[in-house]
Amino acid sequence: MKLNIEGLLVYFPYDYIYPEQYSYMLELKRTLDAKGHGVLEMPSGTGKTISLLSLIVAYQRAFPLEVTKLIYCSRTVPEIEKVVEELRKLMEFYTKETGESNNFLALALSSRKNLCIHPEILHANIVVYSYHYLLDPKIADLVSKELAKKSVVVFDEAHNIDNVCIDSMSVNITRRTLDRCQTNVDTLQNTIHKIKETDAAKLREEYRRLVEGLKEANVARETDIYLANPVLPDEILQEAVPGSIRTAEHFVGFMRRFLEYLKSRLRVQHVVQESAPQFLKDIFEKVCIDRKPLRFCAERLQSLLRTLEIADIADFSAVTLISNFATLVSTYSQGFTIIIEPFEDRTPTIANPVLHFSCMDPSIAIKPVFQRFQSVVITSGTLSPLDIYPRILDFRPVTMASFTMTLARTCLCPLIVGRGNDQVALSSKFETREDFAVIRNYGNLLLEMSAIVPDGIVAFFTSYVYMENIVASWYEQGILENIQRNKLIFIETQDAAETSMALEKYQEACENGRGAILLSVARGKVSEGIDFVHHYGRAVIMFGVPYVYTQSRILKARLEYLRDQFQIRENDFLTFDAMRHAAQCVGRAIRGKTDYGLMIFADKRYARADKRGKLPRWIQEHINDGSLNLTVDEAVQLSKHFLRQMAQPFRQEDQLGLSLLTLEQLESEEMLQKITQIAHQT
Amino acid sequence: MTSLSEEVLLVVKKVRQKKQDGTLYLMAERIAWGPEGKDRFTVSHLYADIRCQKISPDGKAKVQLQLVLHTGESTTFHFANESTALKDREAAKELLQQLLPKFKKKANKELEEKNRMLQEDPVLFQLYKDLVVSQVISAEEFWANRLGGINNTDPSPYNNKQEVGISGAFLADIRPQTDGCNGLRYNLTADIIESIFRTYPAVKQKYSENVPHNLTEKEFWTRFFQSHYFHRDRINTGTQDIFSECAKQDEKGLKTLVTQGVKNPLVDLQSLEDKTLDEGYGICTTQPSTSNANKSVKDSSNSAIIKRFNHHSAMVLAAGSRRGELASDQASETSSTDGNSRDSDFFQPPVKKVKLQEAIEFEDLQRENRPKTVPLNLKKSDRYAHGPVPLQSQQYTTSQDIINSVNYIRHEMASYKPSLTQVRAQTLCAQQRV
């Protein structure tokens, strides 16, 4: 159908439309009009991707000078491929409707092996790739540096975007890294030596260039051609490379010294935690390395590798890592912490020193993106609470909205199970984690559910270790055997290949009617990347609240930073983080309006307002007072009722006019009024 | 029918039946009895028709053997040779004992098939009630008309029947019980053994290798339940048992399954992420991994349990669908050839493409293409099958009513006499019609 979104002609490749899609496009258009950033939460399975693509493509066609490019980032390869398929569908629709084959060029980068050459990126109207191509400075510099300012950037599935940012800026150094770096430096030295004999002019030319400084890069940045690189801060662009590392030999010598210093730091007996300035002070006192040459390390190494014409940069990953670390630690006095651990907490007898250089501020990595591109849209099915993202990513959105899922029948059924049938409080909290009664009641919940839920059930645990212990305990108590009478059991392991196979078998068992249970882990790959549509997931059970492992020093440092810099209380952040993962897990089961599924939160803490209130609006609004602190039996009764209702045929006619609209219905005054209520502004 | 070329296995003389002396013959497929001095059998039962045999208690005056047929009828033989009566009877009994089970399977199959047909087809069931139960025709006649098919003249419906899978919990059904003197009792049934064999072909192989040459059946299963193989969560104590090989085979099978990878790219966790961070980058806030060598015994026993459950479920699933596997493999192969030729511009494996398109499809956003139909909402399928009958229950005709009316009509017809004098002339008829 052809839509009129506030005066913009939008081709939408379907015969019908969901009201929330219309509402979403409206908000999106306002964001683009304002040339600002947006945060939009819309439930999965309501056609978010096609709404995004339809609107932005239409916008690009209508205002080719205002928006030149769409950069669509998603997280997993299948997600990226799905976007491409949807785009293909949209383009076919355009061709069919307009009768002309359009000249839109879309490009997808998925996985490094088909990493494309960047001129093509520059000419494409739409680029689809993974987050890293934009957020990881090491790759962004290669791929995305020259993307036009008038691009619209979309981060889909963005609920974990802060972690991606942090990951791309953090470095871990072990003894092995240092050894490999040592080998790299030796190789560099030899190569320099050889070149000096054969082609000394080359090194002289490099020296000359370095005296000139990084002016070129500076000019480029000032004239606004490049996306800024957080590893290459503005200040150093205006200066020449310091004399102490200007010649190739001096630089190699410098790296050796730095390496020796790092080695000495790893010879610790106790945990050390310090800030970047403390680290710089120490390195100056011990080996007289100044801050300035350190800042140029990454750039200087790149220049050297280019000069030496080294083809396979991958071999030099260790020395690149160290030089990146040198630049980061000397550039950012805030937002990072250094933690040196001599051994793993679990194995205090085995020396395995690691230097963690951890980024605690996700805004550092994403800042260039917000600064450069006129509109950046952060969207996902679960972004609650919406206001936390602008805070931790440090940007000012022009639109923030959460959309509900309009439903002709309530196809999701969130239940909070807080007690066993014996009134024992159910919780995964640390104190009762080993409690026999809790584990038994959890087992009982799964057993009862396995008897009444058709086809597939997915159960998530808070961590892998927790799941292992519970599974072992259920096995000893014979609970698993009883479950096997109803369904086959598959369990996620730490091996990705093994788990993939288990997943496929799980789907096979759901497909052929036998029914199966998948035991899995929140924050794991399954919980983030696998959808359980229709019969692949008729119920999701979340055992416990998936808090992050709080004993980690890195996490503690991050929490402190959040408190000091962003005034976000530790508990608020931890709860937010736990709830977004819980929402991700339970959201796996509902992938559309014709789908249906139970969402069982098995922990009494979910009933509290501070937890419940952090769930996405589209889940929250279906939690009523009657489903707050259920016993296992009560949950089973409610589930039976729900499943029986859902098993009735559900036809298009049932939805039409309510949660599914024709063009005429959409254009009616009454409906347009209703639609304004779908978007919930914050 | 009664050709004597059949192999006669046992002949017992002086057997009385219905107070008549005669001779009992046990042959390859049937048991027969003929009165003395005559060359034909008055009693003849196929073994397949016999449900069971009963014998009179020892010490009773008459030494008898009774055959109970599936139809419920029974035939009693009285062994009358005074000196060897008991011995004769024992011989006949022993032989029958060996013969009957062989035929039983076949008979059961037939019976099951009939049962299934009746259950699956309410119309047929109603017919059966009307005709056989009310004794309009005999059961044999009914089935003879209904299905010459049962006896494999038309095997297709039988073969299309879904094969019965294996219960996922069959190992749970053999929970050991203590026998009171420091021992454990495992109750094994033929079904369970069948399940074990179907699920774990390696065990079946061991069984056929070792039983009965090296081990008795009992010994074999005793060892099975003692083995580390059965108790996969226990850490191997290094005992050499015949099942260690099975465990190795399983391990190998699992590995090949894993390395083969998965067909559906959307569940392939390994290719999920576009780019994992380079070594050395990233944050590790997760708990320290347990994949290290220094795992505790408990940890590795836990992961052994998890492995075992995955393997067990996969094997049970495979055992249930082993037959369907071939067909689906072929299907995916053919689709792959045509998929590639169709889609030359974009080299995606066709499975992937199909899965992706499935994943992005919104069926409710599209106009339904198929012609609009009104789904039939059947509240009572038997009423539907019977056609429009008045709703009042008192007017509902029972089978007996139908039979009565049939009889009544038959009776009327028998006594029907046309009164030819009353027939109207043709011209008159024509006039009336106008």
The pLDDT value recorded for residue A263 is 95
Least confident of A206-210, A224-228, A318-322: A224-228
Give A-chain residues touching B292 at CB under 8 angstroms: 347
Test mutation, A166, A319, A504, chain B, max B CBs within 10 A: A504
Counting one residue from chain A and one from chain B, the pairs whose CB atoms sit within 8 A come to 250
The pLDDT value recorded for residue B304 is 82
Q: For chain A, say whether B184 makes contact (Cβ under 8 Å).
A: no
From residue A62, alpha-carbon distances to A55, A58, A83 in Å are 10, 6, 22
Most confident among A44-48, A309-313, B234-238, B254-258 (mean pLDDT): A44-48
Q: What value does the mean pLDDT take over residues B240-269?
A: 81
Tell me: the pLDDT tens digits for A491-506? 999 888 999 999 999 9
Most confident among B230-244, B256-270, B379-393 (mean pLDDT): B256-270
Q: Indicate if the pLDDT at residue B342 is higher than 50.
A: no
From CA A71, how far away is CA A83, in angstroms rounded? Answer: 12
The pLDDT value recorded for residue B286 is 42
Q: Are B195 and B167 in contact (CB under 8 A)?
A: yes
Helices (H) and strands (E) in chain A, counts: 30, 21
Subunit contact B269:A509, Cβ cutoff 8 A: no
* Least CB–CB distance from A167: residue in B272, B277, B366: B277
Subunit contact A660:B233, Cβ cutoff 8 A: no
* Least CB–CB distance from A660: residue in B284, B292, B364: B364
Residue bearing the bigger pLDDT, B421 or A278: A278
Test mutation, A514, A530, A551, chain B, max B CBs within 10 A: A514
Question: How far does the CA of residue B258 sit from the closest CA of chain A (Å)?
Answer: 6
Question: How far does the CA of residue A422 sit from the closest CA of chain B (Å)?
Answer: 26
> HEC profile for chain B?
CCCCCCCEEEEEEEEEECCEEEEEEEECCEEEEEECCCCCCCEEEEHHHEEEEEECCCCCCCEEEEEEECCCCEEEEEECCCCCHHHHHHHHHHHHHHHHHHHHHHHHHHHHHHHHHHHHCHHHHHHHHHHHHCCCCCHHHHHHHHCHHHHCCCCHHHHCCCCCCCCCCCCHHHCCEECCCCCEECCCCHHHHHHHHHHCHHHHHHHHHHCCCCCCHHHHHHHHHHCCCCCCCCCCCCCCCCCHHHHHHHHHHHHHHHHHCCCCHHHCHHHCECCCCCCCECCCCCCCCCCCCCCCHHHHHHHHHHHHHHHHHHHHHHHHHHHHHHHHHHHHHHHHHHHHHHCCCCCCCHHHHHHHHHHHCCHHHCCCCCCCCCCCCCCCHHHHHHCCCCCCHHHCCCHHHHHHHHHHHHHHHHCCCCCHHHCCCHHHHHHHHC
The pLDDT value recorded for residue A111 is 59
Subunit contact A468:B352, Cβ cutoff 8 A: no
Residue bearing the bigger pLDDT, B50 or B157: B50
Q: For chain A, say whether B211 makes contact (Cβ under 8 Å).
A: no
> HEC profile for B183-205?
CEECCCCHHHHHHHHHHCHHHHH
Average per-residue pLDDT in chain B?
A: 74
Residue bearing the bigger pLDDT, A59 or B106: A59
Cβ neighbours around A599 below 10 Å, total: 25
Give A-chain residues touching B273 at CB under 8 angstroms: 75-77, 130, 525, 529
Q: Which amino acid is present at A163?
A: N
Question: In the block, which residue shows the tokens 């059947």?
Answer: B378
Q: What value does the mean pLDDT take over residues A20-37?
A: 95
Q: What value does the mean pLDDT take over residues A194-206?
A: 84
Give A-chain residues touching B313 at CB under 8 angstroms: 488-490, 502, 505, 509, 516
Q: Indicate if the pLDDT at residue A350 is higher than 80.
A: yes
The pLDDT value recorded for residue B337 is 35
* End-to-end CA separation in angstroms for chain A: 31
* Least CB–CB distance from A171: residue in B266, B281, B307: B281
* Least CB–CB distance from B317: residue in A129, A505, A529: A505
From CA B310, how far away is CA B316, in angstroms rounded? Answer: 10
Residue bearing the bigger pLDDT, B194 or A56: A56
Q: Are B126 and B382 in contact (CB under 8 A)?
A: yes
Cβ neighbours around A216 below 10 Å, total: 11
* Least CB–CB distance from B365: residue in A47, A350, A465: A47
From residue B53, alpha-carbon distances to B56, B64, B97 in Å are 10, 10, 8
Subunit contact B268:A359, Cβ cutoff 8 A: no
Among chain A residues, the shortest Cα distance to B369 is held by A15
Q: What value does the mean pLDDT take over residues A432-436?
A: 88
Residue A251's pLDDT band, with cuts at 50, 70 and 90, is very high
> HEC profile for A55-123?
HHHHHHHHCCCCCCEEEEEECEHHHHHHHHHHHHHHHHHHHHHHCCCCCCCEEECCCHHHCCCHHHHHH
Cβ neighbours around B134 below 10 Å, total: 13
Give B-chain residues touching A328 at CB under 8 angstroms: none
The pLDDT value recorded for residue B12 is 87
The three-class DSSP label of residue A37 is: strand
- % chain B with pLDDT above 70: 70
Tell me: the pLDDT tens digits for A455-489? 999 999 999 999 999 999 999 898 999 999 999 99
Subunit contact A472:B302, Cβ cutoff 8 A: yes
- C-alpha closest to that of A504 among A456, A460, A543, A459: A456
Query: CA geometry: angle at B249 spanning B244 and B250, to 5°?
Result: 100
What is the full DSSP assignment across A256-302? HHHHHHHHHHH--SS-EEE-HHHHHHHHHHHH---HHHHHHHHHHHH
Question: How far does the CA of residue B218 sit from the closest CA of chain A (Å)?
Answer: 25
The pLDDT value recorded for residue A482 is 92
Residue bearing the bigger pLDDT, A603 or B307: A603
From CA A275, how far away is CA B372, in angstroms rounded? Answer: 70
Give A-chain residues touching B307 at CB under 8 angstroms: 493, 498
Among chain B residues, the shortest Cα distance to A663 is held by B365
- C-alpha closest to that of B319 among B131, B204, B187, B165: B165
Residue A559's pLDDT band, with cuts at 50, 70 and 90, is very high
Q: For chain A, say whether B283 makes contact (Cβ under 8 Å).
A: yes
Give the long-range contacts of residues A434-437, CB within 8 A, separation 24 or more.
A434/A469, A436/A473
The interaxial angle of helices A496-511 and B297-342, nearest 10 deg, is 70
From CA A605, how far away is CA A677, in angstroms rounded? Answer: 31
Question: How far does the CA of residue A483 sit from the closest CA of chain B (Å)?
Answer: 8
Average per-residue pLDDT in chain A?
A: 89
* Least CB–CB distance from A505: residue in B261, B278, B314: B314
* End-to-end CA separation in angstroms for chain B: 65
Question: How far does the CA of residue B374 sit from the closest CA of chain A (Å)?
Answer: 11
Residue B275's pLDDT band, with cuts at 50, 70 and 90, is low
Residue bearing the bigger pLDDT, B249 or A239: B249
Give B-chain residues touching A48 at CB under 8 angstroms: none
Which phi and psi angles does B51 have, rounded to 5°?
Answer: -85, -50
From residue B347, alpha-carbon distances to A70, B95, B263, B340 in Å are 24, 69, 16, 7
From CA B71, how far away is CA B29, in angstroms rounded? Answer: 18
Q: Indicate if the pLDDT at residue A575 is higher than 80.
A: yes
Q: Which amino acid is present at B79?
A: F
* Least CB–CB distance from B274: residue in A89, A132, A173: A132
Question: How far does the CA of residue A592 sit from the closest CA of chain B (Å)?
Answer: 8
Given phi > 0 = left and psi -120 to 50 = alpha, else beta, which region is A213? left
Query: CA geometry: angle at B139 spanning B133 and B143, to 5°?
Result: 125
Q: What value does the mean pLDDT take over residues B62-67?
A: 87
Q: Pseudo-torsion of CA B115, B119, B120, B124, nearest 10°? A: 90
Cβ neighbours around A190 below 10 Å, total: 10
Local structure of residue A151 (DSSP, 8 states):
E
What is the full DSSP assignment across A524-566? SHHHHH----GGG-SEEEEES-----TT-HHHHHHHHHHHHHH
From residue B387, alpha-carbon distances to A241, A425, B382, B391 in Å are 96, 57, 9, 11
**Structure tokens, A302:** 């790149």
* Least CB–CB distance from B274: residue in A80, A358, A502: A80
Residue B372's pLDDT band, with cuts at 50, 70 and 90, is low
* Least CB–CB distance from B306: residue in A136, A493, A504: A493
Give A-chain residues touching B317 at CB under 8 angstroms: 488, 505, 508-509, 512, 514
Which B-chain residues 135-154 have CB contacts (< 8 A) with chain A?
A: none
The pLDDT value recorded for residue B395 is 55
Residue bearing the bigger pLDDT, A544 or A345: A544
Question: How far does the CA of residue B272 sit from the closest CA of chain A (Å)?
Answer: 5
Subunit contact A80:B275, Cβ cutoff 8 A: no
Test mutation, A468, A531, A554, chain B, max B CBs within 10 A: A468
Cβ neighbours around A498 below 10 Å, total: 21
- C-alpha closest to that of B78 among B24, B129, B116: B24
Which phi and psi angles does B281 have, rounded to 5°?
Answer: -100, 165
Q: Indicate if the pLDDT at residue B339 is higher than 60.
A: no
Could you tell me where the DSSP H helices lie in A144-247?
161-169, 175-198, 200-212, 215-222, 234-237
- C-alpha closest to that of A106 among A118, A94, A120: A120
Question: What number of residues does chain B have?
Answer: 434
**Structure tokens, A306:** 């280019």
The pLDDT value recorded for residue A537 is 95
Q: What value does the mean pLDDT take over residues A66-80?
A: 91
Q: Pseudo-torsion of CA B124, B127, B129, B133, nearest 10°? A: -120
Q: Indicate if the pLDDT at residue A394 is higher than 80.
A: yes
Q: For chain A, say whether B347 makes contact (Cβ under 8 Å).
A: no
Cβ neighbours around A504 below 10 Å, total: 20
Subunit contact B281:A554, Cβ cutoff 8 A: no
The pLDDT value recorded for residue B424 is 65
- C-alpha closest to that of A18 among B357, B362, B358, B372: B362
Question: How far does the CA of residue A202 sit from the closest CA of chain B (Å)?
Answer: 31
From CA A26, how far away is CA A8, in angstroms rounded? Answer: 10
Subunit contact A172:B317, Cβ cutoff 8 A: no
Tell me: the pLDDT tens digits for B77-110? 888 888 888 888 888 888 888 888 777 766 677 7
Q: Are A497 and B259 in contact (CB under 8 A)?
A: yes
Local structure of residue A39 (DSSP, 8 states):
E
Q: Is A85 exposed, middle or buried (0-12, 13-18, 19+ CB in 10 A)?
A: middle
Pairing of strands A151-155, A69-74: parallel
Least confident of A642-651, B153-162, B291-300: B153-162
